Chains A and B, each alone.
Chain A
C-alpha cells in the first residue's frame, strides 16, 4: 500500500482524512511493515465504508486487515441510528459470529505428549469437521427456533454444555433481539444437521500449551500458566449464518436505491437501522449469533466428553468466547455523550477494557480476553482489552494472523502430506479429511501472528497476555 496518502497520527496509527464522499476519516492501526504489505483494496474498502450514512468518528482497520467483501476483513465501523445510521450485511459477512473460545485445563504439556496420537484420533472422530460431515444432533423446526433464540443457553438446557460457561461468553451466551421468523427456510434447512460441526477453511479445534507468559498479573487472573494445556475452538454459525448473509446481502443490494443510499460497491449494501429491512436483518443476524454460540458450546461438550475418557479428573473451564463477525448495539461515549451505536466488527474482536460493566466480576480487574488465532504451525495469542481500547476503535482489536497469500497460491506451493510431516517434526499433529485443505492452510500462507499481536498492543488496542502453541490441530 502507498503510504504517501496517509498522515501518521501515532506510532502505529495511519489516518486518511476525509476526501470526496468520505464522511469521516479512515484509520489503519499497523506497523510500517504490516501496512506496507496490505493490499490497496484495504484502504479503498475502508474509505468506501466512511461514505455510509450515520457513521460515527471514523472507520478503522486492525493490524491484520485484508481485502474483504465491501468492508475489509479487520474492519470496524459504528453507526448512529438517530443520525440515519445503517446496518450492513456485508459489514458482518457470511460467517456471522465466527469466533474463538479458549478452554483451560489442569493438564501439562507432557500429559498430552504421552497420549498425543490417541487423543488426536479421538478428537478427530468426535468433532465433525469438513465438507460432508454432519452432526449427530438433527433439529426439528421448533428446536431450531429455540436454538436461534437461546444460543449457548439452549445448548446448556439440552445437556450439551455447562451452566458455568455462560458468564464467560459475550452476552452471557444469548444475544437478545433474535427473531427466527426473519431467518429464511433455506437458512434453517442448511442448519438442520450442522449444530456441533466445525466447518472447513480456516476453522479448527486445537489442543495447545501456553508457551510464553507476557503479562504475569493478567495471566494469573485469567488462570493461565506456562506449560498449561488449553483448547481453542474457532468456528461460526455454519450454514445458517452463511445463508442469512446471502439472503440479506441480496435484499439490501436490491433495496439500496429505495432508501436513497448510493454505495460505491454493491457488497456494501446496507439499510437504515430504523427501516423494516434493517430490523429484519438484525433479528436474523442475532439468531445467527446465537447459532454460533450454541455451536461452540456443543463442540465444547463433545471435546469435554473426549477429554474425560483420557483424563479422569480433567476439568475444562471456559476462559472466554469471543465473536469476530458481528454487528452489536453498544453504548459508546461520543464527544462526552453516551450513545447507543451499532458497531460492525468484521474480522475484528471486541476488546472491552478493565471494569467494563459487561464483563463478569472475575474478569473486571483484567479486561476482556481477546483470542487471536494464528496458523496451525505458529500458534495463537491471548490478549486483553485496555483502557485505551475504547478511544482507539470502539474497544476493538485484531482477530487473527490474516492470510499472506491466496488459497490457490498456497495450494501450488505446498502438499498436505508434506505440511503434516513437517508439523509432526515440530511435535504438532494435524488431522483433516482433506490433504488439499491442509496445504491451503499451511503455516507459510499466513502473516506473522506475533507482528499482528505486537502492533495491536503498541497501537493501544489490546495487550498481550500469553502465547499458545499447538500440539493437536483438527481442521475441517
Chain B
C-alpha cells in the first residue's frame, strides 16, 4: 500500500509487513512510519483523532528509538484498545516526545484486519537521503 503523497508506505516481508515513513525531519518520518503501521490494521482515514496520548522515549540510537516509538504505540493500542491516526513527533538528539491522537476500536466501523504484535529490528533503518529527506522503516510482526 502506498499513500498518495508517498509520505508513508508499507513494504513486503514474507509473513509480515514492513512500515516506512518519510519526512522533512526525523520526527515527521517517525510520525509517518506510525501512520503506515496503522494502515496494517485499518484504513487510517476511518479513525477519528478524538483522544490524545502523550508518549516519550529515549534510546541509544535512532533505530532503537524507532523500535521504542512504534512499540510504545502498540502497547497503548493493546492496553487502551485504541487506534491512532494523527501523530506529532519531536526528536531532539535521541529523545522523542510525541502526542498520538485516535479513538477506541470500533469493530464494525474499523474492521481491524490484523493485530500488530510488535515492531522489530528487521530491516530497521533511520536515515537521510541526499536531498535531506528522512526515512524511518522496520518490519512489524502481525
Taking Cβ atoms with an 8 Å cutoff, the residues of A that contact B are 39, 41, 66-70, 73, 93-95, 130-134, 186, 189-190, 192, 199-201, 239, 242-243, 245-246, 249-250, 253-254, 265-267, 269, 402-403, 406-409, 411, 433-437, 440, 476
Contact = CB atoms under 8 A, between A and B. Distances in A.
A189 B79 contact: yes
Residue picked from B41, B42, B121, B142, most chain A C-beta under 10 Å: B121
24 contacts: A66-B15, A68-B15, A69-B139, A94-B118, A95-B117, A130-B107, A130-B112, A132-B107, A186-B79, A199-B115, A200-B112, A242-B78, A242-B117, A245-B141, A246-B71, A250-B71, A253-B121, A254-B64, A402-B15, A408-B1, A408-B10, A433-B111, A434-B112, A436-B111
Contacts of A94: 117-118, 120, 141
Given A67-B13, A266-B63, A407 B114 contact: yes
B24 interface: no
Nearest to A202: B15
A131 B15 contact: no
A269 B67 CA distance: 14
Contact of B14 (A66, A133, A269): A66
B81 interface: yes
Contact of B41 (A131, A249, A250): A131
Contacts of B111: 433-437
A433 B112 contact: yes
B84 to A, nearest CB: 13
B105 A131 contact: yes
Residue picked from B112, B113, B142, most chain A C-beta under 10 Å: B113
B75 interface: yes
Nearest to A132: B105
Contacts of B41: 131
Contacts, number: 137
A374 B125 CA distance: 34
Contact of A69 (B17, B42, B120): B120
Nearest to A406: B12
Contact of B68 (A131, A189, A250, A407): A250
B122 interface: yes
Given A199-B115, A267-B120, A437-B113, A93 B141 contact: yes
Interface in B1-24: 1, 10, 12-17
B112 A201 contact: no
B78 A190 contact: yes
Question: Which 5 pairs, one residue from A and one from B, show the smallest C-beta to C-beta distance?
Answer: A132-B105, A131-B112, A436-B113, A67-B14, A266-B121
Contacts of A73: 14-15
A192 B42 CA distance: 24
Contacts of A433: 107, 111-112
Contacts of B15: 66-68, 73, 402-403, 406
Contacts of B42: 436
